[in-house]
């Protein structure tokens, strides 16, 4: 169960400030409370309800052991998202979105493996056998890969969900996720289209305070889901150990020593001989002769 969201805290963080009225998306009308000084004000009660709904869903995904990819390439969100995603032990993209990150995931994985192979070269000494120019080129390639893909090096398969800050800016990521039917959780401002995402969190996606408030809540929900998964695993292993301890141990039967008695030996020898079975005719003849007597 995700923690309750306090509307006052959202107000203090400036989550309610939308964009200028002339830049609004009409589909955001259900989430707008009012207009003030040419700016749309977001209904924070709806924001709180949507945050809680998204938090519960993300906690369930985390509890199932699947990954949630955080995406935020805008300047004011980069550091916040990187910090919170690391806290939740989830992959994230805060540099330029690599085209085909989801739809061409196999190629992206190859690039990540290239990074690992360079690290192996440095460990086994192969790197030192290269010329100075080649070493410089490899180092530059490694730094570039680390900058763009280092944060997703542990993501061995497609994520179960995406969490996006500013859907208008991250439209390529949104389109790729839609193609693959990956659910999208997003901070959606008054200038964006809420129909593009499954879990809308109507909020100010420009102010760092607002981003920090929403993203930290999301990260806490994921951490809660992960701890729930861990406690369930511990309970299961404990129950398994208890069951194996309680199970009755099979008694080892003592092997019987062969008899040394002559009569017993003779009887055993006779028992091992093949028994010749009578035919049906022989049995009937014998029975008839017994009756005559």
Do 89 and 163 lie in a common domain?
Answer: yes
**Domain boundary pick from 231, 253, 273:** 231
pLDDT at 287 over 70: no
Do 87 and 167 lie in a common domain?
Answer: yes
pLDDT at 263 over 80: no
pLDDT, mean over the chain: 85
What share of the chain in percent tops pLDDT 70?
Answer: 80
At 253, is the pLDDT very low, low, confident or very high (cuts 50, 70, 90)?
Answer: low
**d(C-alpha 226, C-alpha 232), whole Å:** 10
Q: What angle do CA 145, 148, 152 make, to 5 degrees?
A: 95
Do 207 and 82 lie in a common domain?
Answer: yes
Taken in order 168, 170, 172, 175, the sign of the CA dihedral is negative
Do 81 and 107 lie in a common domain?
Answer: no
CB neighbours of residue 210 within 10 Å: 25
The mean pLDDT of 248-258, rounded to a whole number, is 53
CB neighbours of residue 228 within 10 Å: 15
pLDDT at 178 over 90: yes
pLDDT at 130: 85
Do 96 and 167 lie in a common domain?
Answer: yes
| pTM of structure | 0.76
At 83, is the pLDDT very low, low, confident or very high (cuts 50, 70, 90)?
Answer: very high
**Domain boundary pick from 216, 231, 246:** 231
Q: Is residue 42 in a domain? A: yes
**Domain boundary pick from 215, 231, 247:** 231
The mean pLDDT of 268-282, rounded to a whole number, is 59
How many folded domains does the chain comprise?
A: 2
pLDDT at 48 over 70: yes
Write the pLDDT tens digit of every residue in 113-146: 888 888 888 888 888 888 888 889 988 988 888 8
pLDDT at 259 over 90: no
117 within 8 A of 195, measured Cβ to Cβ: no
Do 145 and 172 lie in a common domain?
Answer: no
Do 191 and 84 lie in a common domain?
Answer: yes
Domain that holds residue 52: 22-101+158-231
pLDDT at 200 over 60: yes
pLDDT at 231 over 90: no
């Amino acid at each position: 169960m995700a923690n309750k969201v306090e509307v006052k805290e959202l107000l203090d963080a400036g989550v309610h400030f939308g964009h200028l009225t002339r830049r609004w998306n009409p589909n955001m009308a259900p989430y707008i409370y009012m207009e003030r000084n040419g700016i749309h004000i977001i209904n924070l009660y709806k924001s709180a309800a949507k945050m809680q709904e998204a938090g519960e869903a993300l906690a369930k995904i985390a509890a199932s052991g699947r990954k949630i990819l955080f995406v935020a390439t805008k300047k004011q969100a980069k550091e916040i998202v990187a910090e919170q995603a690391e806290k939740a032990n989830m992959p994230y993209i805060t540099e330029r979105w690599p085209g085909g990150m989801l739809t061409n995931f196999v190629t992206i994985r190859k690039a990540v493996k290239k990074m690992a192979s360079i690290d192996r070269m440095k460990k086994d000494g192969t790197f030192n056998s290269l010329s100075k120019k080649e070493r410089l080129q490899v180092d530059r390639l490694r730094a570039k890969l680390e900058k763009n893909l280092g944060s997703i090096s542990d993501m061995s398969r497609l994520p179960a969900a995406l969490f996006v800050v500013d859907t208008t800016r991250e439209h390529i990521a949104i389109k790729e996720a839609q193609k693959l039917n990956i659910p999208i959780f997003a901070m959606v401002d008054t200038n964006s289209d809420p129909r593009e995402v499954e879990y809308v969190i109507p909020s100010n996606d420009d102010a760092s305070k607002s981003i920090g408030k929403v993203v930290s809540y999301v990260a806490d929900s994921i951490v809660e889901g992960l701890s729930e998964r861990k406690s369930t695993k511990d309970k299961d292993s404990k129950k398994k150990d208890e069951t194996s301890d309680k199970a009755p141990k099979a008694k080892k039967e003592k092997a019987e020593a062969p008899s040394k008695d002559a009569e017993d030996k003779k009887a055993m020898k006779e028992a091992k001989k093949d028994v010749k079975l009578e035919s049906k005719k022989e049995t009937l003849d014998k029975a008839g002769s017994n009756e005559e007597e």
